[in-house]
Every structure is written in C-alpha cells, then in structure tokens.
Amino acid sequence: MMPKTFSARPILPAICATLLALPAVAQDLPPGLSSARLLPGWTEDSGKRVLALELNLEPGWKTYWRSPGDSGLPPDFDWTRSENLGHVRLHWPAPTSIDSGSAREMGYRDRLVLPLTAEAIDAGDPMRIAVDIDLGLCEKICVPAHLTLDAPAPGAEPDPVILTALQAEPRRLDALPRCEIAPIDDGVRVTMHPPVEGVELAAIELTGRPEIWVSGADLNDTPEGAEAVVEMVGPTAAPFDLDESRLRLTMVTADGAVETQGCAAD
C-alpha cells in the first residue's frame, strides 16, 4: 500500500508534457502510417513560430500534395482547437508523382516533413497550436484518414530537419508563363508554357477557388516547347470566367522546384 505521505501530483505536469512531445503510437494511427506528430520547431525573433508536421509512412504507402490531381484527396487542416493562433502558412515541399493506375496524382512517399509558420493574434500572449487533419493515404487503394495532433513547446534552436524541408519548397519565379484558356463543355481548359527547361513534373492550381476541381497536368512536348494542360470544372459544370492572376504553375526539375503566380494570356 502506498504511504499516505506520498503524492504523484508534482510529477504529472512533466509526464503530460513528455507525452505531448511523443509521436502518435501505431495503434492510434490509420493504416499506412508508422508515426505522426508536430515537430516542436522554434520561435523566430519576430515572434513567429516555425514548426512542422512529420508523417512517416509504411513501405509502399503514399499521401497527397495540396493539389493532388485527378482523384486524390487533398489534406484539410482544422486549427480551431488552437489558442491565440492568427494565421498559419504551409510550406509545401516539392511533390513527386504518385502511381495510381491511369490517374495523374502528386504526393509523397516514405516521409513527409511539412513546415508551418504560425503567427499569434496577440504577440504578447503564448500560442497553443493544435490541429485536426483529414488526409488520404494510399497503398493499392486510397483511404481517407484523420489525425488529431498537438504541438509541444518550441525548442531553443532551429531544427535542421525543418530547415532542410523549407529548402525543398518551390522557389518563386517572377516570370509570367504564356497561357491559353479555352471553354469546354463542363468548365475550362488551361494550357501553360513553362518558362524553364527540363520540367519533369508540373501542376497547375487555381488559388483561392477551392470549389473548382482541377485535373492532374498533362505535360506535353510540342514544336514550341513543353506545355502543361489541365481541365477545371466548377459546381455548375459549365464554362466559367477565370482570373489569370490566380493560376499557379509548379514545375519540378532535376535542379529543384520552381513556381510562378499568374500568366500572360494569348
């Protein structure tokens, strides 16, 4: 029997803090993940918090990029359990091509480290960062999954793992690629001409319009150079007006990834 003079209460806060810093254990995870956690990161001099989502996938499993393609399920982040959190920016590393039969999809294998920059509503108060994530995980078939994660306290120094992932984010180019926009029966077809050579993988997004479905990009060689072509379909399944400044072209080359925002319509 435990002596009445002993109390476990003083060690409980330390135990809770340690548990929050640990990755989710396998029995708590959906199929395809061996671990999932928020890496603590650090706080910049400006007060912004830099941290990252880390997913370790089982062999043969994949997960999706922010704009996965024809039939992929893009991740959805819900930050409402957080406190004093004003804005979160996701720094997506360049994706790779996912083999899903005849579908054209983009995502990650093995391990994803997705850096985040968080800004507080009130810079004088601490932030509590918590997120619920709905995402797709794929082996031979793709299944929806859900994660509930809480960030531990930030570390004292920048994390080399997060810094490496930040370097994999596509570099923004000032160049405006040429583009053609044409109506189709249920939406529009967008053709963009990459302003760099050696593009191995490309994606076109319509930023700020989440209700618009965008296909995976067909990358074609033409006498005038490479072109990336997608189809976009809205809720009305009819042609719609498109703001060229919202078109984002991401291009993966052997030397890294670059992206442009906007295009010059022919």
In the CATH scheme, what is the homologous superfamily, with its name and number, of domain 22-167? Thiol:disulfide interchange protein DsbD, N-terminal domain (2.60.40.1250)
> What was the pLDDT predicted at 44?
94
Give me the mean pLDDT over the 233-239 stretch: 95
Would you say how long the chain is, in residues?
266
Q: How is residue 112 written in tokens?
A: 């994803």
C-alpha to C-alpha distance for 133 and 77, rounded to whole angstroms: 5
Asked if the domains at 22-167 and 171-265 fall in one CATH topology, the answer is yes
Per-residue confidence band for 53, with pLDDT thresholds at 50, 70 and 90: very high
Strand partners of residue 78: 132
Task: Give which of 156, 172, 160 is closest to 52, Cα–Cα.
Answer: 160
* Segment 78-100 mean pLDDT: 91
Whether 170 shows a pLDDT value over 60: the answer reads yes
| Pairwise CA distance, residues 50 & 39, whole Å | 9
Domain regions of the chain by residue span: 22-167, 171-265
- pLDDT of 25 > 70? The answer is no
| Element spanning 201, H or E | strand 199-206
Q: What per-residue confidence (pLDDT) applies to 19?
A: 39
Q: Which CATH class is domain 171-265?
A: mainly beta
Residues 6+ apart with CB under 8 A from 191: 179, 180, 181, 182, 227, 228, 229
If you average pLDDT over each of 8-17, 25-34, 142-151, which comes out highest? 142-151
